[in-house]
């Protein structure tokens, strides 16, 4: 019904958004708020009603699920002995519908680095009002938090944690770290319960909190699920529409590409935008020779699974605590280490009936990976290298080693030795993988890196948490590259 309203009588949508994930759903909501602007949102996965998401997606204790995942993995078998799974949500709401529900902002120092590189509009003073506008948080200082935004975020207290997660915070405090009551407040260096986008035991995602029933009823908004995009259609250097995998052509005045960490570069490359040599080798006509897929970067992630002592084997809630701090090699103000304690694991894998996952991540890595198409066929998985060894740096590996040591030291008070069934735990957990180069998500559609033909590509600041509707109703054909919540500016 909605599709016919937008496209009836040969009308062309003013804006076609490719990808209804963490950013795309926000864009569709914001852009369709102007009734003069006809918006079409294309989502490759299913488009559930706001109250129709299955339990596996609304349950915050389930992280990742094969039924709603793209099935990406890195090609690291030869180097590591196994590939690294790279889960990404394939559903309206994208990865916000399958992730760990952690709702933590970047720090002011992160934005200072971006603005120091000449990226205007992204200082802390610029983004804080946007953070507050999107946020619905009942606690915390008003100077840092919004109360009436669409996205619910709840900062939990230590009383809401399991005994073992509270013991983790106590162990961090014993090492000299501060206890943090509000990770999105003024003080974020230390340990505490991390904030979640969970309300009443239900995971919130952008497909539910932005694309509400009221928003979906707008006559100028159409949402199509099961509409996977193969490539962008160009007329010369002008983006005029999208070709679906089914062969259908969808025309639009403006095309916003918000296909996610891996989807966006893949669509760009199949459209002829990317490294010319690689594209020609696959028989793809080159429209623009640009380094799409280069400089992939992510947070190395390590974990150990421990069996809990019998008296402290409670595992609910699964979400736990986090320590966020700087390593000895970090610049002043930089927080480059995260260590977390969670229960996203099958208790049956533990000999005591209870288990805890102590994980560590390097949050300011320097190592670089890459993304390439393996085929012109959109059904063939891409070639992803999570971290190229020749380009890794000691600044990444030093804090990595420190994080591994910290997880081992934190476990002694409330666990037995690492579980003998650790490999079983890893197989049953869709959240983690056991590797010194394990990763969660990558991004390669970077701003301030490309030199494109004038007027063909516009790098608009379209981060999910700070999106502002800057695109006026227009029939000028432009291709906008959306930066979703997992993309990073380097």
CATH number assigned to the domain comprising residue 9: 3.50.50.60
Task: Return the sign of the alpha-carbon dihedral for residues 152, 155, 160, 161.
Answer: positive
pLDDT for position 56: 97
* One domain, residues 245 and 364: no
* One domain, residues 417 and 320: yes
Percent of the chain with pLDDT over 70: 77
How far from 476 is each of 15, 220, 245, 268, 316, CA to CA, in Å?
A: 10, 18, 25, 19, 52
* One domain, residues 345 and 428: yes
Domain count, the chain: 3
Predicted confidence (pLDDT) per residue in 70-80, tens digit? 999 998 888 77
Asked, for residue 74, whether it belongs to a domain, the answer is: no
Predicted confidence (pLDDT) per residue in 251-272, tens digit? 999 999 999 989 999 999 999 9
| Pairwise CA distance, residues 271 & 274, whole Å | 9
DSSP classification of residue 330 = S
For 423, the enclosing helix (H) or strand (E) is: helix 422-428
Asked, for residue 453, whether it belongs to a domain, the answer is: yes
Give DSSP secondary structure letters for 3-44.
HHHHHGGG--EEEEEE--STTHHHHHHHHTTSTTS-EEEE-S
pLDDT for position 454: 35
406, 423, 439 - which closes a domain = 439
Q: Which domain holds residue 342?
A: 155-195+299-439
* One domain, residues 320 and 428: yes
In this prediction, residue 342 has a pLDDT band, given cuts at 50, 70 and 90, of very high
pLDDT for position 407: 53
Predicted confidence (pLDDT) per residue in 114-157, tens digit? 999 999 999 999 999 999 999 999 999 999 999 999 999 999 99
pLDDT for position 293: 95
pLDDT for position 7: 52
pLDDT exceeds cutoff 90 at 3: no
Asked, for residue 200, whether it belongs to a domain, the answer is: no
pLDDT exceeds cutoff 80 at 447: no
CATH number at residue 384: 3.30.560.10
* One domain, residues 304 and 414: yes
In this prediction, residue 212 has a pLDDT band, given cuts at 50, 70 and 90, of very high
Mean pLDDT of the region 330-342: 88
Asked, for residue 421, whether it belongs to a domain, the answer is: yes
* One domain, residues 424 and 341: yes
Asked, for residue 351, whether it belongs to a domain, the answer is: yes
pLDDT for position 116: 94
What's the mean pLDDT when you consider all of the chain?
A: 82
How far from 71 is each of 5, 157, 262, CA to CA, in Å?
A: 34, 35, 11
| Pairwise CA distance, residues 21 & 93, whole Å | 4
Beta bridge pairs of residue 342: 357
* One domain, residues 387 and 335: yes
Other Cβ atoms closer than 10 A to 294 = 17
* One domain, residues 355 and 430: yes
φ/ψ bin of 250: left (φ > 0), alpha (ψ from -120 to 50), beta (otherwise): beta
Question: Helices 394-410 and 163-174 meet at what angle, rounded to 10?
Answer: 120
Predicted confidence (pLDDT) per residue in 12-63, tens digit? 899 999 999 999 999 999 999 999 999 999 999 999 999 999 999 999 999 9
Cis amide leading into 317 (omega within 30): yes
* One domain, residues 423 and 322: yes
pLDDT exceeds cutoff 90 at 5: no
DSSP classification of residue 242 = E
* One domain, residues 386 and 453: no
194, 158 in Cβ contact below 8 A? no
* One domain, residues 187 and 215: no
3-class state of residue 89 by DSSP: strand
229, 24 in Cβ contact below 8 A? no
Asked, for residue 449, whether it belongs to a domain, the answer is: yes
| Pairwise CA distance, residues 455 & 149, whole Å | 34
457, 481 in Cβ contact below 8 A? yes
| Pairwise CA distance, residues 482 & 26, whole Å | 11
Mean pLDDT of the region 277-299: 94
| Pairwise CA distance, residues 90 & 476, whole Å | 30
pLDDT exceeds cutoff 60 at 206: yes
Who contacts 353 (Cβ-Cβ below 8 Å, separation ≥6)? 310, 313, 347
Give DSSP secondary structure letters for 93-153.
TGGGGTS--B--PPPHHHHHHHHHTT-TT-SHHHHHHHHHHHEE-SSS-TTT--SSSSEE-
71, 380 in Cβ contact below 8 A? no
Helices (H) and strands (E) in the chain, counts: 13, 22
Asked, for residue 91, whether it belongs to a domain, the answer is: no
∠ Cα 304 61 216 (to 5°): 135
217, 24 in Cβ contact below 8 A? no
3-class state of residue 281 by DSSP: helix
Q: Where are the beta strands (DSSP E) in 258-380?
A: 273-274, 288-289, 301-308, 321-325, 337-342, 355-362, 370-372
Asked, for residue 87, whether it belongs to a domain, the answer is: no
Q: Note the pTM of the prediction, 2 decimals.
A: 0.83
* One domain, residues 418 and 308: yes
The distance in angstroms from the start CA to the end CA of the chain is 42
| Pairwise CA distance, residues 459 & 470, whole Å | 12
Who contacts 40 (Cβ-Cβ below 8 Å, separation ≥6)? 3, 6, 7, 13, 15, 16, 17, 222, 224, 250, 252
Residues in the chain: 490
């Amino acid at each position: 019904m909605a599709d016919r309203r937008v496209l009836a009588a040969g009308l062309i949508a003013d804006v076609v958004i490719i990808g209804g994930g963490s950013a795309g759903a926000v864009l569709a909501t914001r852009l369709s708020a102007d009734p003069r602007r006809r918006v079409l949102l294309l989502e490759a996965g299913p488009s559930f009603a706001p109250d129709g998401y299955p339990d596996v997606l609304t349950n915050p204790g389930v992280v990742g699920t094969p039924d709603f995942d793209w099935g990406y993995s890195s090609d690291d078998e030869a180097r590591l002995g196994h590939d690294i799974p790279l889960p990404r949500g394939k559903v309206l709401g994208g990865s916000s519908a399958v992730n760990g529900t952690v709702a933590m902002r970047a720090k002011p120092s992160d934005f200072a680095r971006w603005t120091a590189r000449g990226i205007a509009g992204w200082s802390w003073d610029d983004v804080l009002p946007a953070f507050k506008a999107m946020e619905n948080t009942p606690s915390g200082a008003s100077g840092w938090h919004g109360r009436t935004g669409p996205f619910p975020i709840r900062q939990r207290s230590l009383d809401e944690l399991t005994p073992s997660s509270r013991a983790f915070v106590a162990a961090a405090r014993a090492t000299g770290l501060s206890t943090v009551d509000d990770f999105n407040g003024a003080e974020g260096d230390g340990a505490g319960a991390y904030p979640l986008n969970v309300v009443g035991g239900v995971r919130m995602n952008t497909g539910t909190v932005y694309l509400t029933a009221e928003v979906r009823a707008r006559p100028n908004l159409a949402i199509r699920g099961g509409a996977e995009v193969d490539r962008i259609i160009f007329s010369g250097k002008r983006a005029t529409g999208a070709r679906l995998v089914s062969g259908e052509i969808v025309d639009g005045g403006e095309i916003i590409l918000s296909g996610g960490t891996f989807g966006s570069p893949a669509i760009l490359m199949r459209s002829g935008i990317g490294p010319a040599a690689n594209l020609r080798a696959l028989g793809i006509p080159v429209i623009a020779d640009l380094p799409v897929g280069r400089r992939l970067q992510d947070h190395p992630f390590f974990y150990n699974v421990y069996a809990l002592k019998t008296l402290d084997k409670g595992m609910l809630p699964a979400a736990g605590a986090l320590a966020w701090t700087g390593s000895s090699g970090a610049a002043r103000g930089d927080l480059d280490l995260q260590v977390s304690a969670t229960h996203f694991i099958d208790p049956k894998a533990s000999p005591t009936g209870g288990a805890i996952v102590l994980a560590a991540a390097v949050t300011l890595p320097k190592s670089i990976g890459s993304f390439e198409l393996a085929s012109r066929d959109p059904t063939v998985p891409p070639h992803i290298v999570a971290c190229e060894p020749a380009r890794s740096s000691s600044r990444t590996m030093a804090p990595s080693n420190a994080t591994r040591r910290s997880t081992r030291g934190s476990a002694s008070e409330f666990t037995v030795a690492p579980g003998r069934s650790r490999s079983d735990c890893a197989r049953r957990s869709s959240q983690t993988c056991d590797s010194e180069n394990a990763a969660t998500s990558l991004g390669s559609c970077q701003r301030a890196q490309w030199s494109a033909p004038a007027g063909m590509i516009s790098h608009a600041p379209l981060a999910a948490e700070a999106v502002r509707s800057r695109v006026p109703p227009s029939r000028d054909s432009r291709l906008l590259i959306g930066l979703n919540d997992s993309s990073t500016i380097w």
